[in-house]
Structure 1
Amino acid sequence: MRTAHLIHGYLGAGKTTFAKALEKEAIAIRFTQDEWMKKLYGDDPPAEQFAGCTNRVSELMEEMWTRCLQVGVDVVLDFGFWSRAERDRVRSVICSLGADCRLYRLSCSDDEAWKRIEARNLKRDSSLYIARNTFEVLKARFEPLSDDESRIEV
């Protein structure tokens, strides 16, 4: 059965590293939001434009990943899935396409996550620049998985 692999976790948790390995193991197409954002808008889009840029990228990616599932190709969705509402919405879309859904939870300490982000900020390969203040402020938007959400712990 076609499968969508959803990667959940906060900044620096190792989502993209895991997603890259999973795409090979599962023989799937990986969709990583930061990579698309960087290609289209650079590694540090202006804060006042960020939400609009993210929404456009998300809409474009959804057209692509849903089409992959429709034609029988598995996908890895490296989006973080920070809100329950977004997880529920995406699970509903996947179900409507007759595909299976697997949710993976990645986590690490804030100290470890920040060390990873600092190292990533120096490279600026396929990720966005994240300032320390941004890392702290965005925590308020992150909703951990609820007990009723089936998941695979990584």
Structure 2
Amino acid sequence: MPQIHFIEGPVGAGKSTYAKAITEKGSFSHIALDEWFARLFSPDRPQENFVTWYIERKDRVLALILNHAHDILATNKDVALELGLIQRAPRQALFRQLLQDGIKFTVHILDAPLGVRRERVRLRNTEQGETFSMIVPDHIFEIASAMWEPPDDLELEEYEHIFPTQASGNS
């Protein structure tokens, strides 16, 4: 039965690098919210009130990506979703809905120390290499890092989780 592999963790944890590596090993697709978001909305990105602007658009992109993921699952292929589900309550709500819909999934949680993540993001901003989607200024990095809520004991018991030792590269 095909399944979704959620690749989650704070900004700069190595999610994109990890997702690309596992999709190269398996026969499934990788969809990253940041890539879709950047292509759809970056030209309209405001200088101020970025967080409010981002949240309003993120839900629309998530719905589109999840719909596309269902289409991929229907072809009997797995899909790796990198959705930036950094807050526990919305993450759990989505996971519960997927369980009700009978969709199998595994959650891959990556993390790294704050200083390491900050430097990765700064380097990614400068190099704009393979895992680059959009500039993440320091103040946005700090906001997103503060918002990250790792899985609690209940979430760990309720859903299948993998904690890869991979924490190198850029996310």
TM tier relative to shorter chain: 0.7 to 0.9
Partner residue, 1:143: 149
Aligned residues: 154
| Offset, 1:82 | 1.1
Runs (4+) of structure 1 exceeding 6 A deviation are none
Partner residue, 1:133: 139
Partner residue, 1:60: 64
Match runs of 1:91-130 below 5 Å: 91-125=95-129, 126-130=132-136
Distance 2:43 2:96 in 1: 31
Equivalent residue for 1:72, pick from 61, 76, 86: 76
Distance 1:68 1:93 in 2: 18
Partner residue, 1:37: 37
| Offset, 1:97 | 4.0
Partner residue, 2:85: 81
What's the % identity of the aligned pairs?
Answer: 27
- Name structure 2 gaps, 5 residues minimum: 165-171
Match runs of 1:9-28 below 5 Å: 9-28=9-28
* Contact 2:33–2:84 (CA under 8 A) maintained in structure 1: no
RMSD: 2.0
Query: What is the TM-score with the length of structure 1 in the denominator?
Result: 0.88
* Contact 1:15–1:78 (CA under 8 A) maintained in structure 2: yes
2:42 maps to amino acid: G
- Name structure 1 gaps, 5 residues minimum: none
Distance 1:93 1:27 in 2: 25
